[in-house]
Structure 1
Amino acid sequence: MRAARLIRMALLVQSSPGLTADALARELEVSRRTVIRDAQALQEAGVPVRAERGRAGGYHLAPGHRTRLTTLHPTEAETLYLSGLPSALRDLGLSDAADTARLKLSATLLPSLRAAAESSVRRFHLDAPAWFREPSAPELLPELARAVWSDRTVRVTYARPGRDDAVTRLLEPYGLVLKAGVWYVVGRVPAGRDGAWRTYRVDRVTSLTPTEDGPFVRDPSFDLTAHWRANATEFARTLLRSTATLRLTERGLGRLPAVADPAGVAEALASASAPDADGRVTLDLPVESDEVAFAQLSELGADVEVLAPKSLRARFHEHVRALAALYGVADQR
């Protein structure tokens, strides 16, 4: 604890010469007496911190001296570019490195570390989590992140939604994306197979084994941010593997975009019927699964009626019966 405070004090004096004992005490959240003791400890450790009196006084380093504490480890330099989302750093297993880096934020990156910072931008694009939702932290995420950092080919097994069988393939993991609280890995199937790009939800990766080969050769033209922006909508549409036929009131139709997947809503609205005699509109909404559709459409209450599939309609029927029993309403069916 004290060692970290001494490092921070040395960096503060270096980056802001002339800070008084009271100013340093406020920055370090300690007493003025502790600042004086810490200054003496730094002097004994060979850091030439000195206190000067007068209007231009305060704490200074000896002229021409710059502490070597500003030298960043490459991992620290990389994590500076991700420090805006502490939860993401924690999920990736990088929170300790980020804590160390924050002690050195006032120092300028050395030219030799600029490549490390650019490396971070190329490998991670963080799309902020949705409101009222904590990002998921899949068990294999830290290990997958290590493979991304080291350009290590991995063998992954992926559980496909709505199917009992899983798929296993080699993958060159180029980057990780945090989208609305869900982590995705973007990678390429090695040349010699189909060379295609793949995007997987990390929480559906059930096993991961790094290969014994050396690092794969990263395509220098690959831009993770541009790739994600160009393919995110298409990928989101591939997740919608089922269709639900719905009848909606005018209010339900207006609220649908707020509860369902945007890619599916846009397609459904384009093919919606004209209002019937009751003012309800019928449409086919692409959905991921019965479970996901039930969770989304339940928010619309009586403003939506599920016509198909039968399994989803039955789920709503049982839900309504349970609510009626809970609130003492007789079943009218």
Structure 2
Amino acid sequence: MRAARLIRMALLIQSNPGLTAAALARELGISERTVIRDAQALQEAGVPVRSERGRVGGYFLAAGYRTRLTTLRPSEAETLFLSGLPSALRDLGLSDAAETARLKLTATLLPSVRQAAESSVRRFHLDAPAWFREPATPELLPELARAVWADRAVELSYAGPARDGAPASAVARVVEPYGLVLKAGTWYAVVRVPGKREEHDGGWRTYRVDRITALGPVHGAEGPFVRDPAFELAAHWEAGSAAFARALLRTTVTIRLTGQGLRRLPAVVDGAAVADALASASAPDPVGLVTLELPAESEDVAFDQLARLGADAEVLAPARLRARFRERAAALAALYGADPQEACPGEAEDQR
């Protein structure tokens, strides 16, 4: 474990001369004291690491020194070749470049390592889109990706979703595209609106790329925009996704569940809702029933979700939702209480 960390530290210093102890600690997930000890260990192993104090100080390797730790092991090559996502590269217009890079990398590997890398490609494949939905590549995605690579501000038009029968609203604005995210087969653009940086959300916006209807350069803009050095796409997306999921939960439903219903609940409702619901759960009553408060997006969504639990879930409140389940139960009782031949007299006559 420590040996792998020392290798990573040496490669980090080689790739980014001047990294501070604090920066290395963040990258390696260790304390600054451990960074100092690891630097001493590298020196004792013959790696000429030196530290410099001052405003432009940090850790460096001796001038002209290059580590010989860059040879890939078979397991590392397997992991590297698994990291590609063919469908995403194709959508971004990078499949040719990625294939060329893969061939160049393959050519530099030892035969044993090359075989391990090619073997992983034959054994594993990541299919990102969800089932029962044909993924479509947004027409403007490659152009937007080029703007992301170049840190180039763009002017876009965005059609928001239709709400309550009203037509979709169109928005036109200048944005700084920071990154692209592929989530369950759908591409999203994480952007920053320059004029709204002082707002509580920092001016950050997330747009579905397939709703971007027009995209073009900003007239009069010179050169790339200055990226926020503290921005990390993965962390921003994770935090935004969690906040978005919770923001959707606008109503609360009181339900009583059997043990089976409690076990099945995570399979039918949102993960954030499940966590909050379980935190509110009562102790089982004498017959094993548990009462809890379930956050839900709306009564309609709660009806569709809880209907899948059948008799293992009883809605106690709100009264309007309980009435809907009572009506559904009566309709099912009437449907299944009748003899199927009596329910379809025309079909019975045809059979005679």
Residues 268 and 204 of structure 1: is their aligned pair in 2 closer, same or farther, counting only changes over 3 Å?
A: farther
Amino acid at match of 1:84: G
Aligned partners of 1:262 and 1:152: how far apart in 2? Answer: 36
* Structure 1 vs Structure 2 CA RMSD: 4.4
Aligned counterparts of 1:145 and 1:311: Cα–Cα separation in 2: 48
The residue aligned with 1:209 is: 215
Cα deviation, residue 222, structure 1 = 1.8
Aligned position for 2:264: 255
- 1:162–1:87 CA distance, 2 compared to 1 (3 A): same
TM-score, normalised via structure 1 length: 0.52
Following the alignment from structure 1 to structure 2, what is the Cα–Cα distance between the partners of residues 283 and 250?
Answer: 13
Tell me, yes or no, if the aligned pair for 2:197 and 2:203 is still in contact at 8 Å.
Answer: no
Structure 1 residues 219-238: aligned runs within 5 Å: 219-238=228-247
Q: Partners of 2:295 and 2:134 in 1: how far apart?
A: 25
- The 3 A distance-change label for structure 1 pair 191 and 107 is farther
Does the C-alpha gap of structure 1 residues 204 and 189 become closer, same or farther in structure 2, counting only changes over 3 Å?
A: same
- Alignment of 1:191 with 2:195, yes or no, is yes
CA distance in 2, matches of 1:262, 1:105: 40
Q: How far off its partner does 1:148 sit?
A: 2.5
Q: CA deviation at 1:108?
A: 5.7
Corresponding residue pairs, total? 234
SS of the residue corresponding to residue 218 of structure 2 reads coil
User: Which aligned pairs between 1:5-24 and structure 2 lie closer than 5 A?
Assistant: none
Shift of 1:174: 0.9
2:153 corresponds to:
152
Q: Is the 8 A contact 1:152 1:173 kept in 2?
A: yes
1:18-167 → structure 2 map (5 Å cutoff)? 84-107=84-107, 129=128, 136-137=135-136, 139=138, 142=141, 143-150=143-150, 151-157=152-158, 159=160, 166=169
- Identity within the alignment, %: 56
Q: 8 Å contact 1:240–1:288 — kept in the other structure?
A: yes
Relative to structure 1, the CA distance from residue 199 to residue 231 in structure 2 (aligned partners, 3 Å threshold; closer, same or farther) is same
Gaps of 5+ in 2: 1-79, 110-125, 340-352
SS at match of 1:139: coil
Code of the residue aligned with 1:92 in structure 2: it is: L
TM-score (norm 2): 0.50
Which stretch has the larger CA shift, 299-308 or 311-320? Answer: 311-320
Q: Which residue of 1 aligns with 2:294?
A: 285
Whole-angstrom CA distance in 2 between matches of 1:101 and 1:287:
47
